[in-house]
Amino acid sequence: FSMLQRGLEQEGFPALEGKRFGKEGTMAAKIISGAEVAKQIREELAREVARLTGLPALADDSGLEVTALNGRPGVWSARYALDKTGGRAPTDEENWHKLLEEMAQVPWERRQARFVCVMALAWPDGRLFTTEGELRGLIALAPRGDQGFGYDPVFWLPEYQKTVAELSLAEKNRISHRGEAIRRLKVFLSQSGLAEN
């Protein structure tokens, strides 16, 4: 939540998490993250939380899609190596290690991938806005860097000549899929006049 909260607050929209709902800002957001599911589920979750709390609710979901793997890990990004852990939630390293194993024979020119973030913002009266952000790159041959989390060490950015895990926090926030989705959300809220509602 803290990364998303910082992004929203940098764009001028205070956000509250979980049970800390109150009158601390112009928009209260309930963040539902961690479970990678389809866009429709994000919309349903945002609607349900808005209905239950009487506050605007934001559901966000991020994942990695690899072209050579027909979009995998996709909705299974956080649990990609589950089949190798005996049912225990896999670590980030276990997930990207499995990905690198599957990509071992894939040539460099076919290692395209994208991080994608879907956000659904619902109001108690039923209004709904969804947006998406993406970051395109390649799956690296080996992990590099220790900044970030998830697949960051194996997501290569050709224009930077480094992985996402080698970027500074400021660089990552500027180009990330989640940052792009937050900026689109801000534009929508500002142009629609809904930020105060």
Residues noted as catalytic: 61
CA distance 16 to 23: 10
CA distance 174 to 195: 22
In the Cβ-directed half-sphere of 196, how many Cα atoms lie within 13 Å? 2
Cis peptide preceding 158, ω within 30 of 0: no
Strand, coil or helix: what is 144?
A: coil
Beta strands in 53-154 (DSSP E): 57-66, 73-74, 112-122, 128-139
CA distance 169 to 151: 15
Percentage helix, strand, coil for the chain under 3-state DSSP, each rounded to 5: 40, 20, 40
Enter the tokens of residue 10: 């940098």
